[in-house]
Every structure is written in C-alpha cells, then in structure tokens.
Amino acid sequence: MSNEVLIVVSKLKNYIKSAAEMNTSGNLAPAMSNIVRELCERAIQNAQNDGRKTVMDRDFEFANSASGDGEVLVVVSKLKSVIKDMAGLNTSGNVAPALSGIIRNVTNQAIENARNDNRKTVMDRDLSNIIIEPVPSQAA
C-alpha cells in the first residue's frame, strides 16, 4: 500500500484553523490518508459486491447527500489512482466530495480529541479511537 498523501494538506489545515482556531501537526495528513485508504478498501468491496466496475459515493457506508457540501479535501487524481491500483476499478466523480464530507466528520472528532487533551494542535494521535459514522444531514 502506498504511503502517498491523499489529502490536500493546505485545505485540511485551513479547515481546522477556520473550524477551531487550531494548528495542524505535520503527521496528521499521512494518518488521515491511511483512513482514506481503509475507507476505499471497504467501498471497493461494496462496488464489487454490486457487480460494478466503478466506485460510487454510495459505496462509502458513512456518506450521505450532505457529504458533498464544502470543499474537496482529497487529491482527486491520487484517489482515483489508489482505487485503480487496489482493484482496477474506476471512480465516479461524486466520490471525492462524499469522501471529503467523511474527512470533515473525522477531523471534527480529532479536533474534539485535541481539545480534550488541552492542546491547540491536532495530531495523528487524535485520530485513534475515532468512530466513523454517517455525516450529519443538513436537511434535518
């Protein structure tokens, strides 16, 4: 599995700064990229179980229609390459926005973990024990 960073680091840092006025550790984006790879593995399995050759947003179990709201936080070309390399599947255009919604949800939990530790910097260790759950719908 590649160690390439799949997250747009500057956008992740900007998101954390604007959401919480916190800094971002240099090791956060690589750790977040590992989470993205794990999510892709599960999405690939879902697409294959449906007999499709294209991974779609619905293959990411924790995405919903609100997931695509906001800036795309993944490097789309690298994301497509990872999915192609893992399983030879194509990637739908709606995957990156949906995955970005999941990343924002995970990042929000990491921010909370850093706050609970009385830190002003979000670090890779803030990703441990995070429960990836459905992105809250804004239509509620």
- Percent of the chain whose pLDDT exceeds 70: 89
Q: Could you give the CA distance from residue 42 to residue 55 in angstroms, rounded to a whole number?
A: 10
Specify if 136 maps to a domain. no
Q: Where is average pLDDT lowest: 6-15, 58-67, 80-89, 126-135?
A: 58-67
Q: What is the pLDDT of residue 139?
A: 42
Specify if 23 maps to a domain. yes
Specify if 3 maps to a domain. no
Specify if 140 maps to a domain. no
Q: What is the pLDDT of residue 138?
A: 44
Does residue 66 register a pLDDT over 60?
no
Q: Could you give the CA distance from residue 130 to residue 90 in angstroms, rounded to a whole number?
A: 29
Q: Could you give the CA distance from residue 7 to residue 23 in angstroms, rounded to a whole number?
A: 16
Specify if 70 maps to a domain. yes
Q: Could you give the CA distance from residue 12 to residue 7 in angstroms, rounded to a whole number?
A: 7
Count the domains in the chain: 1
Assign 117 to helix, strand or coil.
Answer: coil
CATH number of the domain that 81 lies in?
Answer: 1.10.20.10
Its domain, for residue 121, covers 9-127
Alpha carbon dihedral 109, 113, 116, 119, in 10-degree steps, equals -120
Considering only CA atoms, which of 13, 54, 60, 10 is closest in space to residue 37?
Answer: 60
Q: Could you give the CA distance from residue 119 to residue 4 in angstroms, rounded to a whole number?
A: 27
